[in-house]
Amino acid sequence: MNPETPLNPGLYIVATPIGNLGDLSPRAADILARADVVAVEDSRVTAGLLRHVGTKTPMVPYHDHSAEGVRPALIARMATEAVALVSDAGTPLISDPGFKLVRDARAAGHLVVTIPGPCAAVAALTLAGLPTDRFLFVGFLPSKAHARSEAIAEIATIRATLVLYESGPRLGASLAALAEGLGDREAAVTREITKRFEEAVTGTLTTLATRYADAPPRGEIVIVIAPPGDAPPASAEDADTALADALTRLSTGQAASEVAKALGLDRKTLYARALELKAKG
* Digit-coded pLDDT (tens) for 6-41: 899 999 999 999 999 999 999 999 999 999 999 999
pLDDT of residue 24: 97
Verify that 107 and 28 share a domain, yes or no: yes
Question: Which CATH number does the domain housing residue 23 bear?
Answer: 3.40.1010.10
pLDDT averaged per 10 residues, the chain (length 281) = 79 96 97 97 95 96 88 97 96 87 97 97 96 95 94 94 96 96 94 94 94 91 90 76 90 91 85 91 71
Verify that 241 and 212 share a domain, yes or no: no
With respect to residue 3, please indicate whether it lies within any of the assigned structural domains.
no
Verify that 51 and 133 share a domain, yes or no: no
Verify that 24 and 108 share a domain, yes or no: yes
pLDDT of residue 264: 75
With respect to residue 76, please indicate whether it lies within any of the assigned structural domains.
yes
pLDDT of residue 2: 55
Verify that 174 and 245 share a domain, yes or no: no
pLDDT of residue 230: 56
Q: Which of 93, 118, 143 is the last residue of a domain?
A: 118
Segment 5-14, tens digit of pLDDT: 889 999 999 9
- Is 181:155 a contact under the CB 8 Å cutoff? no
Q: Which of 78, 102, 118 is the last residue of a domain?
A: 118
Look up the domain containing 32 and give its range.
10-118
pLDDT of residue 104: 96
Verify that 67 and 128 share a domain, yes or no: no
CA geometry: angle 210, 216, 217, nearest 5 deg: 115
Question: Which CATH number does the domain housing residue 128 bear?
Answer: 3.30.950.10
- Is 110:104 a contact under the CB 8 Å cutoff? no
Verify that 94 and 156 share a domain, yes or no: no
Verify that 176 and 197 share a domain, yes or no: yes
Alpha helices by DSSP H, listed for the chain, are: 26-34, 43-53, 67-77, 98-107, 120-128, 145-155, 168-182, 205-212, 236-247, 252-263, 267-280
Verify that 90 and 140 share a domain, yes or no: no
Verify that 185 and 126 share a domain, yes or no: yes
With respect to residue 230, please indicate whether it lies within any of the assigned structural domains.
no
Number of domains in the chain: 3
pLDDT of residue 95: 80
pLDDT of residue 265: 85
The order of strands in the sheet holding 161-166 is 135-140, 161-166, 221-225, 186-191, 199-204
